[in-house]
Amino acid sequence: MIPQRIPSFLYIIFSFLILLSCQKKNDAPIKPKDTKAEVKRMIAIADNLFYDNNKLDSAFYYYNKAKFICNPITDADNYVIVSNCMAEIQQIHGDYAGSEATITEALPYLKYVKKTAQIWNSYVTLSTNYLNTYEYKNAILYNQKALRLKTKEWRKLAAKNNIAVILIEEGKYDESLEIFLSLISKKDVLADKEFKGKVLDNIGFCYFKKNDSKKALYYFNKSLEIRQKKKKPFDLGKSYIHFAKFYEKDNPLLAKKYMLLSYEKFSIINNVDERLSALKLIMTNSSDKELKKYSIIYVNLVDSIFEVRQKAKNQFARIKYDSKKEKDENLKLKTHKAENELQLEKQKNRNIISYIIIALSLSLILVLYFYLTSRGNREKIEATYKSETRIAKKLHDELANDIYHTMAFAENKNLSLAENKDQLLKNLDLIYSRTRDISKENSPIITTDEYIYYLKEMIAGFNTPNINILLNGIETIYWNEIEKNKKITVYRVLQELLVNMKKHSDATLVVITFKNTDKSVIVTYTDNGKGIDLNKITIRNGLHNVENRILAIKGKIDVDSAIDKGFKVFFEFPL
């Protein structure tokens, strides 16, 4: 019965809030002034002083100032221009979600825009964000929107090219090839050597995926010939990595040469995503010391790009927040005089409403207390039941069938024969190992002075000939000063992550780093597995358990991953 009372309390409070908001709506609106000249001045500062000099954070700041004083209806062109510029800067820093949000804010005002080129830019920028977040359907949709616009021919060709690239990512090589072959005969493509080189390279890649090696090599060479003349590192890097994949099976030495050339070109322009792709290919085709060397480079690069992109995301979010806060404060100052005139009249009503809300809030807190207590007890019972069910399922799935087959083997075979006896012992040893693993997974965790020994032992248990686990800084942590429940949480979280890694990721390298600060402990888990799409997580239960455990000890957690980009978890908890 208790939970049914909650909506009624919320309904009453909501009604009072509506009453307050209705009173504010009666205030007379302030007529906005013409800001076009100031907007243009801000855009000029952002363009000439900062964007052209690659000072993108400062450029973003001034674009944002222009956006917040710009009227999106009467000055829609400038509003969309600054939105596109801001979204492009966020995109450069890998903040695709932030870039998408910035463009989405401008979409309702595209109908007021006079310059079609700005609408095209918005659609293409949005499609690029969707491509980089693996939402291929939406990426194609916005390129098709760009294609339908009445704009210059080269923009239509560019949109077609984008669609063909997305189809490659989807593995639709026949459809992609058809578009690229139609583009290569276009006058605008033939006139633009850089564009032509990209199309030829993509045609070669499609034929490579269709196992037509002769045509693939022909188009790869034609593209490389153009790109070597243009000498653009990014384009050369793309050609070299395609040659590496082409020769990977039949000529490993030549493939390795192209992998290293590709990595070199992408390093020149510091294109991190393409460097990671080249490194991953090099690691796949390396061994021993060379594998270790490039694995360390890969992990360090993943760490650095995660930190840089996170800082950029936070910085851009802070700039937008500060601008909004400044605008809100200005509006408050402008309306302050009018509010003062109504203040005395409203004060009496506010007092009455405040008393009612306080009384209702106290009642609600009491109800919530009993409700949450009841729910907590219920969740504990459910958790115990689930744990017992999980263990029972493991025993049934992993042991029952093996025990049955071992018993049948013992009944039907002549155990006096050495080979049958050895087979029986092997079966029993396997059953013992599985029983021990289940016992370890569900047994109490030792949190005494020997905690670090058992933590290392658990982690080492996931080492295999194909999986290498590196531990950094574990000895620097003052484990004896950490509370028991926090030690248990660290143990279980790492166990959960390693189990998920072994089941799902196909990783060959795992790095777990521990760092001690004055007030907290920081743990970073990184692997070079196949990664996951955070928008379409298939191991949500495992991550949900990890998040809940960290939040329960008042910690923070962040997950960073993408398809073929590895998997990284950062968590921190107070001492």
Tens place of pLDDT for every residue, the chain, 575 residues?
A: 444 444 555 555 555 555 555 555 444 455 556 888 999 999 999 999 998 888 888 899 899 989 888 999 999 999 999 999 999 898 888 888 889 999 999 999 999 998 899 999 999 999 999 998 999 999 999 999 999 999 999 998 999 999 999 999 999 999 999 999 999 989 989 899 999 999 999 999 999 999 999 999 999 999 999 999 988 999 999 999 999 999 988 898 999 999 999 999 989 988 888 888 888 888 988 888 888 888 888 888 787 777 766 766 676 777 767 666 665 555 565 556 656 667 777 787 788 888 888 988 888 898 888 888 878 677 665 655 566 666 666 666 667 667 867 887 888 888 788 888 888 888 887 776 667 666 656 667 788 889 999 999 999 988 888 999 999 999 999 898 899 999 999 999 999 899 888 888 889 999 999 999 989 999 999 999 998 888 776 545 567 888 989 999 999 999 998 888 899 999 999 98
Question: Amino acid identity of 286?
Answer: S
Distance CA 47, CA 59 (A): 7
User: Based on the structure, what is the number of domains in the chain?
Assistant: 3
Q: Is residue 259 part of a domain?
A: yes
Phi-psi region of 180 (alpha: psi -120 to 50; beta: other; left: phi over 0): alpha
Instruction: Give the pLDDT confidence score for residue 4 in this predicted structure.
Output: 47
Instruction: Give the pLDDT confidence score for residue 158 in this predicted structure.
Output: 92
Please state the length of the chain: 575
Could you tell me how far CA 27 lies from the centroid of its own chain? 44
Q: Indicate the SS3 state at residue 470.
A: strand
Largest CA distance in the chain: 104
Instruction: Give the pLDDT confidence score for residue 509 in this predicted structure.
Output: 95
Identify whether residues 455 and 558 lie together within a single domain: yes
Q: Is residue 219 part of a domain?
A: no
Identify whether residues 458 and 549 lie together within a single domain: yes
Q: Is residue 35 part of a domain?
A: no
What element of type H or E holds 168? helix 153-169
Instruction: Give the pLDDT confidence score for residue 3 in this predicted structure.
Output: 47
Phi and psi of 573, rounded to 5°?
Answer: -140, 150
Contact predicate 472/435, CB 8 Å: no
Contact predicate 551/493, CB 8 Å: no
Contact predicate 86/59, CB 8 Å: no
Could you tell me how far CA 224 lies from the centroid of its own chain? 33
Identify whether residues 437 and 515 lie together within a single domain: no
Which strand ranges, in their side-by-side order, compose the sheet holding 556-561?
468-472, 509-516, 520-527, 567-574, 556-561
Q: Is residue 282 part of a domain?
A: yes
DSSP β-bridge partners for residue 470: 511
End residue of a domain, out of 262, 292, 316: 316
Phi and psi of 519, rounded to 5°?
Answer: -120, -5
Instruction: Give the pLDDT confidence score for residue 483 in this predicted structure.
Output: 92
Distance CA 522, CA 570 (A): 7
End residue of a domain, out of 402, 419, 443: 443
**DSSP 8-state code for residue 287:** -
Contact predicate 502/462, CB 8 Å: yes
Identify whether residues 384 and 466 lie together within a single domain: no
Q: Is residue 452 part of a domain?
A: yes
Q: Is residue 106 part of a domain?
A: no
Instruction: Identify the CA nearest to 507 among candidates 516, 497, 517, 515.
Output: 497
Distance CA 310, CA 332 (A): 33
521 CB-contact burial (10 Å; exposed 0-12 / middle 13-18 / buried 19+): buried
Distance CA 274, CA 271 (A): 6
Q: Indicate the SS3 state at residue 477.
A: coil
Task: Report the CATH number at residue 502.
Answer: 3.30.565.10
Phi and psi of 513, rounded to 5°?
Answer: -115, 130
Identify whether residues 254 and 240 lie together within a single domain: yes
Identify whether residues 401 and 308 lie together within a single domain: no
Q: Is residue 410 part of a domain?
A: yes
Q: Is residue 237 part of a domain?
A: yes
Quote the crossing angle between the two packed helices 36-44 and 76-92, to the nearest 10°. 30
Instruction: Identify the CA nearest to 275 among candidates 234, 246, 232.
Output: 234
**What token pair was written down for 488?**
């248990």
Where does 324-404 show beta strands of DSSP type E?
A: none
Q: To which residue do tokens 């690691």 refer?
A: 283
Identify whether residues 549 and 430 lie together within a single domain: no
Distance CA 228, CA 220 (A): 12
* CA 500-503-508 angle, 5° bins: 90
**What token pair was written down for 447?**
């949190």
Identify whether residues 482 and 424 lie together within a single domain: no
Which domain range does residue 513 map to?
445-574
Identify whether residues 423 and 532 lie together within a single domain: no
What element of type H or E holds 509? strand 509-516
- Give the CA radius of gyration of the chain: 31
Q: To which residue do tokens 């939970």 refer?
A: 3
Instruction: Identify the CA nearest to 246 among candidates 228, 262, 267.
Output: 262
Distance CA 395, CA 523 (A): 32
Phi and psi of 553, rounded to 5°?
Answer: -105, 25
Instruction: Give the pLDDT confidence score for residue 2 in this predicted structure.
Output: 43
Distance CA 279, CA 295 (A): 8
End residue of a domain, out of 316, 341, 358: 316
Instruction: Identify the CA nearest to 64 among candidates 308, 310, 314, 317.
Output: 317
Distance CA 509, CA 290 (A): 14
Identify whether residues 454 and 431 lie together within a single domain: no
**Residue 335 CB coordination number (10 Å):** 15
Identify whether residues 463 and 567 lie together within a single domain: yes
Identify whether residues 456 and 434 lie together within a single domain: no
Contact predicate 178/184, CB 8 Å: no
Instruction: Give the pLDDT confidence score for residue 317 in this predicted structure.
Output: 73
Distance CA 557, CA 129 (A): 25
**What token pair was written down for 100?**
């998408």
Phi and psi of 115, rounded to 5°?
Answer: -90, 110
Distance CA 74, CA 63 (A): 18
Phi and psi of 571, rounded to 5°?
Answer: -135, 150
